[in-house]
Structure 1
Amino acid sequence: MDTDFRRHRSILPVIIVVLSLSWSQVNGHWWSVATDPNIDKLEQGITSICEHFKGLSRNQEALCKRYHNHMSFVSEGAESGIQECQHQFSGHRWNCSTVEDSTVFGKVLNIGSKEIAFTYAIASAGVVHSIAKGCKSAELKSCGCSKKPRPTGLHNDWRWGGCGDDTDYAYGFAREFIDARERDNVSPRGQKAKARKAMNLHNNEAGRMAVVRGTRPACRCHGVSGSCSLKTCWFQVPDFRVIGDKLRQAHVNAIEMRMSKRGQIRPRKSGRGKPVLTDLIFIESSPDYCKRNSKTGVPGTRGRECNKNSSGDDGCGLLCCGRGFRRQDVTVVERCNCKFQWCCTVRCEKCRKTVVKHFCR
């Protein structure tokens, strides 16, 4: 590789193609690579497949061809982001539901809400997380173990030198690839389009920084009988659930922004401080997630399973939006009568039983 992503600079001055597109004119989203089976062809060096990924912008296609061996990690990161989004919002009126097209989340993406801010951040974080681990595992030949210096405060007797997750390289690549979609939109038309571009770029960065700033030293014990008289330490990215929890809290505290006459976004509430890198920002109020709306792409909560005994977001009271719920007997198949078999197996039967579930009207 002839470029060092650790410098956090623009890496494609030669092949950048200047386009003037509105955000809505770019069909699909790069997240769709998470479910595209053609990703496997890139590992065989068939770079022309990049042109058929409907969710990629022009510059992302160029990056895909140039760094085709990175795309399986981009796909893995996007999938991790989508799954984490669905975990964090499970049981809520908006549950990060997906659609079967290259937009992944459907028309709801067109609304600059705090929920969409989360999707941008968590997907961006997923790519950094995946690439950093790919570097450490030597699956990506253009990077390797982290080269970060020994952190202050580490015990003097502990050795610094284990193979750490390379978040510097991962951050640099993720920034170039993910933000390329917004950079393609050189001249957004109208204040809303300009504000949306700024919103997307900020939330992309918030996701990346959640991983970078969450990285901590990890150590392995050495010594007689694991006495930990000596340790070898390195930098390690946190479990992705930790990242998801952090960004979910940022969603709760997300800052509403507006576009000023000078073309800059500022907090809508006067006196609110400028957002920091790890804040999530949004420019539009969340839609009514209770009722199905084909125009906004909101699926509504009708037919969703709810918890009759919960007073939280997953409870039938909140989730069903006051419409009530219905009771239904459902037959489920479970493992039962499990027995240990010598030497090392457990054999179970399959049992059917009827359980009571509740669904929103």
Structure 2
Amino acid sequence: MPSLLALLTAALLASWAPLPAEAGSWWSLAMNPVQRPEMFIIGAQPVCSQLPGLSPGQRKLCQLYQEHMAYIGEGAKTGIRECQHQFRQRRWNCSTVDNTSVFGRVMQIGKPSHRALLGWVQRSGDRGRPVLCRKLSFRLLLGPGALESHWSREDTAFTYAVRSGPGWVNAISRACREGELSTCGCSRTARPKDLPRDWLWGGCGDNVEYGYRFAKEFVDAREREKNFAKGSEEQGRVLMNLQNNEAGRRAVYKMADVACKCHGVSGSCSLKTCWLQLAEFRKVGDQLKEKYDSAAAVRVTRRGKLELVNSRFNPPTPEDLVYVDPSPDYCLRNDTTGSLGTQGRLCNKTSEGMDGCALMCCGRGYDQFKSVRVERCHCRFHWCCFVRCRKCAQTVDQFVCK
């Protein structure tokens, strides 16, 4: 079963040009406290010129919209966390590493000459739990190709979709609504035709349209600047990246829905005010995970178009994920691919799914140990009005892969 994580992680990562040590400053905006837009004042040291990995088009956009950059960092942080949630029961669990690659060499398969650029050191929590590192390279946000995009596997497709979709669109859309950006404001979406006539339309909604347009322009700029030979492997990766970027953005755009608030005496709800609101990030991640499970294998034709490897399937829509190469199984540690393996990972003895010990441990078996779990217990409601609980320690059996 292909790893969902590389699809998600590739959307969070992207680059191929050798970068200096300070390149980590880009991703660090995702993990450290993000400086607010007021840092970009007239006369301040140029920010965009200090961000390695930007394509010419992205650098221009950065200069025009410097106040947006902080929210790009926020979107990246959200994307990483969603990646780790969606992959928590997979062999590749989106563990981050303490260097500029964030996810290690696993995202660089296919480009041996550049593997030496970014070493990798596993950062894991207790018994293989993923941990967010503090110092990460923000350059990975720039879109597929800041280091040449050789992450063309199934799992990387999900990553591109999550990075260019939920993370960036959400952050920018909400910043518009909150008045944090000078170039946008509340959503101007037209009143839905099916909204009851006596309900008011005009609350300050998330500006999904602006977030979608900005994310598309910024992320896709790098890919559209490339000029590879028609039908080449490189062009195939560009087309794949553009497809998956769009799938991620559309997931956010189409899942935005109407939210309403009641008005009236004593909560009578005699009047409602409604507006457009983004869906919960988790719901978008869940939908992209479903898209990942049905991702289509494609190849580039001589005419420079993507086509299905298996023509019996329906062609992918703009909302579907595609990939060029299958993913490795991630069972064993492999310095070439960057796989950390599953040794030491927690598994579920009774599950028959990917989190089960049989699949997670790749047939190597597992060890059992006891751990103490502290939980809230004996909770009672007290008038008025709070709940008071005790803390109870419980010894439980847990299992880790050999």
> Could you say if the C-alpha distance between residues 51 and 312 of structure 1 is closer, same or farther in structure 2, counting changes exceeding 3 Å?
same
**8 Å CA contact retained: 2:37, 2:68:** no
> Could you say if the C-alpha distance between residues 336 and 99 of structure 1 is closer, same or farther in structure 2, counting changes exceeding 3 Å?
same
Displacement of 1:222: 1.5
Q: From 48, 67, 70, give the equivalent of 1:69.
A: 67
Matched, 1:25 2:25: no
> Could you say if the C-alpha distance between residues 100 and 340 of structure 1 is closer, same or farther in structure 2, counting changes exceeding 3 Å?
same
In the alignment, the residues of structure 1 paired with residue 352 and residue 51 of structure 2 have an alpha-carbon distance, to the nearest angstrom, of 43
Displacement of 1:234: 1.0
In the alignment, the residues of structure 2 paired with residue 194 and residue 109 of structure 1 have an alpha-carbon distance, to the nearest angstrom, of 19
Q: Which residue of 1 aligns with 2:218?
A: 177
Q: Which residue of 1 aligns with 2:125?
A: none
Q: From 207, 221, 228, give the equivalent of 1:187.
A: 228
Aligned partner letter, 1:118: F
- 1:315-334 superposed matches below 5 A: 315-331=356-372
Q: Which residue of 2 aligns with 1:297?
A: 338
Q: Deviations over 1:269-325 (max 9, x none)?
A: 114333211101111111121111111112111111111122221111111111000
**8 Å CA contact retained: 1:182, 1:197:** yes
Displacement of 1:40: 1.6
* Matched position secondary structure for 1:258: strand
More contact order relative to length (CA 8 Å, sep ≥ 6): 2
In the alignment, the residues of structure 2 paired with residue 50 and residue 344 of structure 1 have an alpha-carbon distance, to the nearest angstrom, of 52
* Matched position secondary structure for 1:101: coil
Q: Deviations over 1:61-101 (max 9, x none)?
A: 43233312111211111111111111111111122222223
In the alignment, the residues of structure 2 paired with residue 58 and residue 160 of structure 1 have an alpha-carbon distance, to the nearest angstrom, of 41
Aligned partner letter, 2:200: R
Query: TM-score normalised to the size of structure 2?
Result: 0.76
Displacement of 1:60: 2.8
Query: TM-score normalised to the size of structure 1?
Result: 0.84
Aligned partner letter, 1:222: H
- Per mean C-alpha deviation after superposition, the further-off stretch among 157-166 and 44-53 is 44-53
Displacement of 1:339: 9.0
> Could you say if the C-alpha distance between residues 357 and 195 of structure 1 is closer, same or farther in structure 2, counting changes exceeding 3 Å?
same
- Aligned CA-pair RMSD: 3.0
Displacement of 1:338: 8.1
* Matched position secondary structure for 1:193: helix
> Could you say if the C-alpha distance between residues 52 and 295 of structure 1 is closer, same or farther in structure 2, counting changes exceeding 3 Å?
farther
In the alignment, the residues of structure 1 paired with residue 274 and residue 25 of structure 2 have an alpha-carbon distance, to the nearest angstrom, of 35
> Could you say if the C-alpha distance between residues 289 and 154 of structure 1 is closer, same or farther in structure 2, counting changes exceeding 3 Å?
same
Displacement of 1:33: 5.0
Q: Deviations over 1:169-214 (max 9, x none)?
A: 1111111111123234333798222111111111111111111111
Aligned partner letter, 2:154: K
In the alignment, the residues of structure 2 paired with residue 188 and residue 313 of structure 1 have an alpha-carbon distance, to the nearest angstrom, of 40
In the alignment, the residues of structure 2 paired with residue 302 and residue 284 of structure 1 have an alpha-carbon distance, to the nearest angstrom, of 25
Matched, 1:44 2:39: yes
Q: Which residue of 1 aligns with 2:30?
A: 35
Q: From 159, 163, 184, give the equivalent of 2:200.
A: 159
**8 Å CA contact retained: 1:32, 1:55:** no
- Per mean C-alpha deviation after superposition, the further-off stretch among 236-245 and 183-192 is 183-192
> Could you say if the C-alpha distance between residues 321 and 333 of structure 1 is closer, same or farther in structure 2, counting changes exceeding 3 Å?
same
* Matched position secondary structure for 2:369: strand
Q: Which residue of 1 aligns with 2:82?
A: 84
Matched, 1:120 2:164: no
Matched, 1:103 2:101: yes
Q: Which residue of 2 aligns with 1:259?
A: 300
Q: Deviations over 1:131-155 (max 9, x none)?
A: 1111111112211111111111111
Aligned partner letter, 1:24: W
In the alignment, the residues of structure 2 paired with residue 342 and residue 227 of structure 1 have an alpha-carbon distance, to the nearest angstrom, of 27
- Per mean C-alpha deviation after superposition, the further-off stretch among 46-55 and 124-133 is 46-55
**8 Å CA contact retained: 2:259, 2:274:** yes
Q: From 324, 335, 341, give the equivalent of 1:283.
A: 324
- Per mean C-alpha deviation after superposition, the further-off stretch among 99-108 and 208-217 is 99-108
> Could you say if the C-alpha distance between residues 61 and 104 of structure 1 is closer, same or farther in structure 2, counting changes exceeding 3 Å?
farther
**8 Å CA contact retained: 1:33, 1:55:** no
Matched, 1:359 2:400: yes
Gapped regions of structure 2 (runs ≥ 5): 1-13, 109-150
* Matched position secondary structure for 1:40: coil
Aligned partner letter, 2:17: Q
* Matched position secondary structure for 1:35: helix
Aligned partner letter, 2:35: D
* Matched position secondary structure for 2:16: helix
**8 Å CA contact retained: 1:30, 1:56:** no
In the alignment, the residues of structure 1 paired with residue 153 and residue 270 of structure 2 have an alpha-carbon distance, to the nearest angstrom, of 52
**8 Å CA contact retained: 1:77, 1:123:** yes
* Matched position secondary structure for 2:292: helix
